[in-house]
Chain A
Amino acid sequence: MNKTLLGYVPEHSPIYSVHPFVKLFFLLVVSLFPMFISAPEWNVGLMLGIMLLMIYSRVSLRTLKMYIPVAISMGIIILLSYTLLGGVQPQYQQITRVLGVSIYWERLRDALVVYFRVVPMILSMVFFLSTSRERDLIVAMRTIRIPFVVTYVFAMALRAAGMVLEDFHIVRQAEQARGFDATGKSIPYKIRKYVMYMIPLFALSLRRTEEFTNALVARGYAFAGEGARVKRADFVLTHYHFSVMDGLYTTVIVLLFAAILVARYGFQRLTVEDSYFLNWLYSIIVSAA
């Protein structure tokens, strides 16, 4: 298994033949698709498409299980925000009253549209993180000639996040070894005692920063001056080759995006009025009301 940002991908997967830039491009562009699609059924189709890509890439779909509670809570929050907390809108069609609050069809519809926009965006991020390593991100950014210092700071931020988690684990074990364990205690207690983790963690982070700066200087890296003017050879890019297939994948993504824009703004499709699902739901709910 090969470790990725979000888990593991088997040793042999077709995703390894895809250039990291294509994966990053997929994330950046495909996650924009739902912004231009209001009809939920199309966004559900997009979700299914991403899941098929995950299966094809041999990403374990069990990764998605951990997002189910997040998806449910997010759905509830969106629904409540749009319906119960949506305010009084006399121009909208009221379908019922709950606890003295009017529930409007338009607000319910908007909640569904927003929810089915957010979920495929998250899914495309999960797909990207499940199939990419930190190095892929760096390679993708360097491929499009983003300055080294920017990609490096980004890479370090990624690494720092992992290191802080590791340090947190160490501090927690050290606290437990000395008899302090918040397991099974109430949340207010845990919050109060969290300071016992935070102080050593903060001190460790400061030390790490110092060590890291020393390491950069000791290896001849300079942010300014003569040392910074050296032309760097991007050795990591020698391992990656932007193939014809990569060009094809990128073109397909661009064409799909263009098709969505044309359908939306040229032919007024993919809208709420054009949605079979919303029209069906409207006929059921509003007729019943």
Chain B
Amino acid sequence: MANAIEITNYSWAYAHGNGKALKAVNLSVEQGECVGVIGPNGAGKTTLAYSIDGLVPGQYHGIKEGTVQIQGREVEDYPKGMLQREVGLVFSDPEAQFTAMTVEDELVFGLENLGLDIPEIRERLDWVAELTGLGPLLQKPPYEISGGQKQRVALAAVLAMRPRVLVLDEPTSMLDPLSRKRVFEVLGQLRKVQNTTLILIEHGLEHVVPLADRMVLLAEGEIALDAPTPSFFEKLDLLHHHGLHVPGAVEVVSRLKNSGRYFGELPRGVEDARLVIQEIIDASSTKQGAV
């Protein structure tokens, strides 16, 4: 079976841009896998997201080299409007994706485009409104609600379409910590229940790390590092070189590992880190006791 996403030697240069936005990118993502993409501003993260959803080259002029395949088919080979049944894209600016007059219309717009019937639309609308807590806002215009609520609407509108591949370009930048945690819980649940492939582009890594199987560092249009999440953060110098903030708990254990005091996998969160540090302390006490 083909990979959900197969990007091979892919380069893209915008017609009016300075040089290539993406350079010889190779990326394979299996169905159900979650890949976190990080990188400094201007690294090409959004271009990568647009490329997976077919907006590049569909909506932009430029030069493409290499291939971008979704479910084994080149993005340009999909008939218009069909690739988006496979791939859902949540934009970083939620307001940029609003196309309707009320939150409810916004949530059902994509479902109508899929050609679903009324009972199916109603079922999905209720499901996604419950999932994202948007029930009380359904009749409000999407451009009159708060930033966090807008982001939830943007996410819900795409979730309702239940794509097999979900690309999220900084989907929680406007959310408070609690809502952010909730969004990632929802994503984790989606992945578990529907085997959705997730591409998470995020600056805040605290919530991405526990969810992502793999992490990709994109810098100046190139993949600077692609590794399973536990070993990704062992390259602290490279991450710091690109100005990236590594979650504190992960960084502490990574430093301990680099100094030869720990040999296991890096933790994915604060609780994991606490257990690892406890293990190191216990091992150290035992050693001292033996001496």
With contacts A135-B101, A214-B96 taken as known, whether A232 is within 8 angstroms of B113 at the C-beta atoms is yes
Contacting A134 at CB < 8 Å: which of B101, B110, B112? B101
- Whether B59 contacts A219 by the Cβ 8 Å rule is no
- Please judge, given known A-B contacts A226-B81, A235-B112, whether A219 and B157 are in contact too, CB under 8 Å: yes
> Could you show 15 A-B contacts with beta carbons less than 8 Å apart?
A3-B144, A134-B101, A135-B101, A213-B59, A214-B59, A218-B53, A218-B55, A220-B114, A221-B109, A222-B81, A225-B79, A226-B82, A230-B115, A233-B116, A238-B118
A212 to B96, CA, bound (A): 6
A210 / chain B contacts, CB cutoff of 8 Å: 59
Determine which residue in A3, A155, A156, A218 has the highest number of CB atoms from chain B within 10 A of its CB, and name it. Answer: A218
B105 touches A227 (CB 8 A): no
Contacts of B141 in A (CB 8 A): 3, 134
List residues of chain A with CB within 8 A of the CB of B122. 235, 238
Q: Is the CB of A233 within 8 A of B80?
A: no
Chain B nearest Cβ from A209, distance in angstroms: 11
Using A214-B91, A231-B115 as known contacts, say yes or no to A225 and B55 having CB atoms under 8 A apart: no
Least Cβ–Cβ distance between B287 and chain A, in angstroms: 57
B109 close to A219 (CB less than 8 A): yes
Residue B97, interface by CB 8 Å:
yes
User: Within 8 Å of chain A (Cβ to Cβ): is B176?
Assistant: no
Residues of A within 8 A of B109 (CB): 219, 221
Main secondary structure of the interface of A (DSSP, over half): helix
**A216–B100 CA distance with the chains assembled, in angstroms:** 10
Q: Is A236 an interface residue (CB 8 A)?
A: yes
Closest 6 CB pairs of A and B: A227-B81, A222-B81, A211-B96, A230-B115, A220-B84, A225-B80
- Interface residues in B174-197 (C-beta closer than 8 Å to A): none
Known A225-B79, A228-B80; judge A215-B118 contact (CB<8 A).
Answer: no
Binding site for B on A (CB under 8 A): 3, 133-135, 138, 155-156, 159, 162-163, 166, 210-228, 230-236, 238
* CB of B233 closer than 8 Å to a CB of A: no
Known contacts A212-B99, A235-B108; A224/B80 CB under 8 A = yes
Closest CB of chain B to A236's CB: distance in Å? 6
**B104 partner residues in chain A, CB cutoff 8 A:** 236
Residue numbers in B under 8 Å from A219 (CB-CB)? 84, 97, 99, 109-110, 113, 157-158, 161
CB-contacts of B113-169 with A (<8 A)? 113-118, 121-122, 125, 141, 143-144, 157-158, 161
Do residues B113 and A230 form an inter-chain contact, with CB atoms below 8 A? yes
B residues near A138, Cβ cutoff 8 Å: 101
A232 touches B99 (CB 8 A): no
Report chain B residues within 8 Å CB of A133: 101
**Is A135 touching B105 in the complex (CB atoms < 8 A)?**
yes
- Option from A134, A156, A215, A224 in Cβ contact (under 8 Å) with B96: A215
Are A226 and B113 CB-contacts (below 8 A) given A215-B96, A220-B85, A235-B108?
no
Closest Cβ of chain B: how far from A133's Cβ, in Å? 7
The answer, among A155, A214, A226, for a CB contact under 8 Å with B80, is A226
Q: Which residues of B contact A234 (CB under 8 A)?
A: 112
A219–B112 alpha-carbon span in the complex (Å): 10
